[in-house]
Amino acid sequence: MAEGIRIENLVKTYGSGDTAVHALRGVDMSVAKGEVVGLIGPSGSGKSTLLKCLGAVIEPTSGRMTIGDTVIYDDGWKVNDLRALRRDLIGFIFQAPYLIPFLDVTDNVALLPMLAGKSNTQARKEARDLLEALDVAHRAAAMPSQLSGGEQQRVSIARALVNRPPVILADEPTAPLDSVRALAVVDLLNTMAKQFETAIIVVTHDEKIIPTFRRLYNIRDGVTVEERASAPSGG
Amino acid sequence: MISLAGRDILHGWGKFVLTGVGLGLLIGVTLSMAGVYRGMIDDAQALLDNSGADLWVVQKDTLGPYAEPSSLNQDTERPIRAMAGVDRAAGVTYLTMQIAHEGKDVRVMVVGAEVAEPGEPGQPPHLIAGRRIVQGHYEAVADVKTGFAIGDEVMVRRNTYRIVGLTSRMVSSGGDPMLFLSLKDAQEAQFEKDSDAIVRQRARTASSPVLNPPGNPAVAEAVNAAQASSTNVNAVLVTVVPGADAEEVAATIRRWQRVTVYTRAQMEEILVEKMIANSARQIGMFLVILAIVSAAIVAFIIYSMTIAKIREIAVLKLIGTRNRTIAGMILQQALGLGLIGFAVGKIAATFWAPFFPKYVLLLPADSVRGFVAVMAICALASLLAIQAALKVDPAEAIGG
Ligand SMILES: Nc1ncnc2c1ncn2[C@@H]1O[C@H](COP(=O)(O)OP(=O)(O)OP(=O)(O)O)[C@@H](O)[C@H]1O
Ligand SMILES: [Mg+2]
């Protein structure tokens, strides 16, 4: 499978000197397009820090990071416009859906293609197609506050997918959901990963979904350990 | 691209519109204050226009007759009338007083003007109803703002006058409506002493051997008559013949008479720059304070609207929205608030202007200036919120 995202020996140290916190001490990780991997670890192990580095919102201290063939970071940013990088190459799914409350469902999703310069008509068409695929098209005209938690999460997945990014970062996407819905979301992520050829990294504490990952990284004291190299069942 | 500002406003329009209306009432007050100032200048100009004069001859070294008391002998006008370049010259009196009318006190400026022939300077230039004063006594022409109607009888001092005509926009520089009497009647009202004073004066004359020489009672009578009547005026209004230079005529009068003469331009300067200047500064202070209060309100509301959206702003930044777009959203909201405020303010000011006791003149140019100022203030007030929004870290969207 084609490579989605790869990080090598990624280090992140907060602060310096006596007060320095070594959050990441040399993380290696690689996720192929079409693949969903889990990232687990105890509190304070560096999961959020890793996600922020991958999401290009904080700068790593050293290491190397590539998305596809593009070098993003190599002991320094290799891309000038991090905002455009996030907009075009990375999709985000959060624990809370974080939809924009003053935009309806369609425009919440269409906003990203619009930001990327597409016409409103084109952006809305792409948004509606995705909402269709995620089975929330019937709520396209609703405001986020009128949706159920599961519907909101599906809309936020549509938003993460709409610009067809090679990488999606999901931060505890199933935390607020019951186990049926949580498993449904993981299924959905797997389907979407294949359909849109996206590498998806899911940070989670959620015992309900941990067993479903074919590959699982466990991060401890700032170092990743690949716990599961193959599918738990049938794969 | 959709308008994020517009969507946000539509989403929470109730709060937004209420704030806009509140701001609008403040802007309405501001526009009215400017209107009051314009009204004062317009009143002053109307006063000068309606007097029909080209020159004002007043007591030497005074700023009379509107800004300072001035008293001249009425006989001053006769030699002036004979001077080269002078068309007409007529004495006038001005006296501001309270008149009781139908149980209310009406503050008026009583103007005494010569009524012998029409068109004398000092007479009201046009009537909107009725006729001019034709009898030497006990007739009056009133400005409609007094509330008097034709046929009404009003008491000025001890005499009753019948209203025979009405004018409009005839007000003093203080905005008090005018009541025109014949010059003689007005002089009586202005310079006449009350009965007690007359009795005492007569007694003093009678007891003086010089003014009341024994065996010649005619002397005391003549003295009494001279003391009781007055032939003083506050100013002599002069018109110049067509083609004559008012400045030259003024110089001629100054050469021959111990008086001070003002041209129209000088009189306007006295009224606008000396009399109104203080009020103008006062209004200027109010405008500054209102501008600051408006700015504070806009800044506060836009800031709190932005702070309430911090998480959304972090998400917007995380998914790649430019700072320019986010700053634009906040700026547009501030300008939208200003737009609503200005519209409400303009409507409010127009609506309540007629209810002001003073003349409120809303100039379109002032509205344009006000609009520009409101927009500038709103833009400025949004800077605080924009700064806060730009500081938001997109990493906050990911959380810990
Ligand atoms: N901005 C920061 N400045 C200094 N230290 C930080 C900062 N953010 C995180 N840390 C530290 O880095 C380490 C890793 O934190 P991180 O938030 O990545 O952990 P986590 O795995 O997400 O934990 P949790 O499961 O509790 O969310 C912790 O020791 C934390 O205190
Ligand atoms: Mg965390």
Given the structure tokens 């919120």, which residue do they identify?
B385
What CATH number is given to the structural domain containing A89? 3.40.50.300
Between residues A168 and B66, the one the model is more confident about: A168
A100 within some domain: yes
CB contact under 8 A, B2 and A48: no
- Percent of residues, chain B, with pLDDT higher than 70: 97
A234 within some domain: no
Q: Considering only CA atoms, which of B181, B169, B148 is closest in space to residue B44?
A: B169
pLDDT for B227 equals 66
A37 within some domain: yes
* Cβ contact B151:B162 at 8 Å: yes
* Shortest Cα distance, chain B CAs vs residue A4, angstroms: 19
What's the pLDDT band for B228 if we cut at 50, 70, 90? low
Q: Considering only CA atoms, which of B313, B318, B312, B371 is closest in space to residue B342?
A: B371
A63 within some domain: yes
A222 within some domain: yes
- Ligand 1 center–CA B134 separation, angstroms: 99
pTM over 0.90: no
**Among partner residues B10, B312, B319, which is closest to A86 by beta-carbon distance?**
B319
pLDDT for A235 equals 38
Give the chain A residue whose CA is nearest to the CA of B400. A48
Residue B135 has pLDDT above 70, yes or no: yes
Q: How far apart are CA A199 and CA A197, in angstroms?
A: 7
pLDDT for A143 equals 95
pLDDT for A234 equals 40
Total structural domains in chain A? Answer: 1
Give the chain B residue whose CA is nearest to the CA of A87. B320
Per-domain boundaries in chain B: 4-43+277-397, 61-192+234-257
CA distances from B227 to B186, B189, B223 (A): 17, 15, 6
* Cβ contact A32:A73 at 8 Å: no
Residue A1 has pLDDT above 70, yes or no: no
CB contact under 8 A, B395 and A112: no
Write out chain A residues lying below 8 Å of B392, CB-based. none
Residue A221 has pLDDT above 80, yes or no: yes
Domain range enclosing A112: 3-228
A233 within some domain: no
A235 within some domain: no
